[in-house]
Chains A and B, each alone.
Chain A
Amino acid sequence: MNQAWHIQHLTKRYQRDTVLDGIDLTLKASQITGLLGVNGAGKSSLFKSMLGLISPDSGTATLPHPSSIGYMPDLTHLPDSLTALQITRHALRIKGASALLAESTLEEIGLKSTAWNRRIGSYSKGMRQRTALAFALAGEPSWLLLDEPMSGLDAVGRKQLLKLLKLRHQQGAGIFVCSHIVPDLVRLCDRILILSNGKLKRDMAIQEHSMDEISFVEDQLEKLSHP
């Protein structure tokens, strides 16, 4: 099993605005962890700090040992002139896997085979999202950090994605996912965190993945985000 991801006293400020305020957290690879928060709560900043894309003002947030990570940012900007097949092959080679797995990776994320050799510039939002997912999932990384992966996907696509992420988790990948769609997160995750104004307000275990739990998490989110 993969190593745990320890985040200690993480603080990030942009001028006078504190976007992350002393976050202490341990992510276990044995759980699928979800992150909830309203816009501007600090979710993307937490992801970026964990990945070293922004430097925290204090605290640490990186994995103690080098590990393969698949990250899907909230806004995907893949090269428009390339095709999904080309970009997936590159992602696989970068992660030391065989480029021959590109077709199966694209099949896995549900991108139509007729689109594989088309330029990404001609894709719809959902297709771009699926390609970005293929890029993140390629090479079976030990950790997956997904920022709004369901955004732009239709109902069928979201259902397929949840299934796929559960499968990847069973295969040993640690998953940390952030989304605004509470029902999807509750169905997928074993643990949900609520972030508000840069602070970690709630850490909840999800056991039944039921409608009652969805309602409870939605209430908690509303209560903690608008005190």
Chain B
Amino acid sequence: MTTTIEITRITILEIIRMRIFQFFAVAILVTPIIALVFSNIFIFDIGKVRIDVFAAATRLLITSYILFVAVTLMGRDIGQKSCYQFLMPPVSRHAYLTGRFAGLTFCMLMLMVVTMIAGELLIALTLAETTEIYRHGITQGQGFTLAILSFVQHISLLAMVIMICVWATGLAEMLVFSIAAIFLSWTLPPIIHALQNQEVMQHVPPLISSLTNSIGYIFPQLNGGDIAVALAHGVNINSTDILLHFTEHFSYALMMFVLALIIFSRRDL
């Protein structure tokens, strides 16, 4: 346990001293300004556009964090063998990978706190300068909800990318497979969701429909867009949905991470 905590600490220290991480944090803080500028193009849907732009931009930045910080860190660890320095008794492979994952998650949480602050500032400004008709159901506290729900989604994405990294060899492979997996996780679920529509299902053979349902069950909704859209439209997300969202993503993250541990403990380094 002590070794895991120490690897977590070193990972956090390493990441927060990276310029790219500092850039991501500043970029998230600047995002509300971009949202404000962008919303001026529109006449009526000001509140909706602001939240949509903010959610999309922050999601892109957090995904970039996963790709350019997490993948490059794992690429250096495994591809350039920098893990050799640490993987000595008393540090086990499990402790090492758990520490890395915990450190990366903690730094992502820091970015989410920045997202939360920036989101709440944007909402406060929108509420102060617009009348009810332009707000589209936006209320104070939605920036907090957006950040938390998006964070949960990105934990599963991070776990998936870690699993890919411990399986792949070399940074190029890690990046290509991670980008492919992220792309699929963004595009597949909406297609499956559309296919699961009752009207569509009536025209599909039973085998295909059960196959579609199975893929729908095993592939989580890793795209944060649904939540951003719901929030932008002023839709209240009920507690059952939030609970299911948490359960789905934590289960998926756990499953991916256990798989990563199994692969990492068996592979040649």
Question: What B residues does A55 contact at CB under 8 A?
Answer: 266, 268
Q: Which residue of A lies closest to B18 (CB)?
A: A81
Rounded to whole angstroms, the CA-CA distance of A90 and B103 in the bound complex is 14
For chain A, the count of residues having a C-beta within 8 Å of the partner chain is 31
A68 within 8 A of B: yes
Whether a CB of chain B sits under 8 angstroms from the CB of A51 is yes
Q: Mark B1-38, 1 if CB is under 8 A from A, else 0.
A: 01100110110011001100000000000000000000
Q: Are B85 and A73 in contact (CB under 8 A)?
A: yes
Q: Is the CB of B91 within 8 A of A94?
A: yes
Chain A interface helix/strand/loop/mixed: loop
Interchain CA distance A55-B268 in the complex, whole Å? 6
Q: Mark A44-77, 1 if CB is under 8 A from B, else 0.
A: 0000100101110000000100111111010111
Picked from A63, A73, A75, A90, the residue with its CB within 8 Å of the CB of B10 is A90
Residue A78 lies at the interface, judged by CB distance under 8 Å to chain B: yes
Given contacts A54-B269, A77-B85, A78-B82, contact A94 B90 (CB under 8 A): yes
What residues of B have a CB within 8 angstroms of the CB of A166 in the complex? none
**Cα A79 to Cα B266 with chains together (Å):** 25
Would you call B80 an interface residue if the criterion is a C-beta within 8 Å of the partner chain's C-beta atoms?
yes
The answer to whether the Cβ of B42 comes within 8 Å of any Cβ in the partner chain is no
Complex interface: chain B residues within 8 A of A95 (CB): 90
Cβ contact of B89, chosen from A66, A78, A79, A87, cutoff 8 A: A66
Interface flags, B211-254, vs A, CB<8A=1, else 0: 00000000000000000000000000000000000000000000
**A55 and B87 alpha carbons, distance in the complex (Å):** 14
5 tightest Cβ-Cβ pairs between the two chains A and B: A77-B82, A81-B17, A73-B84, A54-B268, A69-B88
- A-B contacts besides A48-B84, A66-B89, 7 pairs, CB < 8 Å: A51-B88, A68-B88, A69-B89, A73-B84, A75-B81, A81-B14, A94-B91
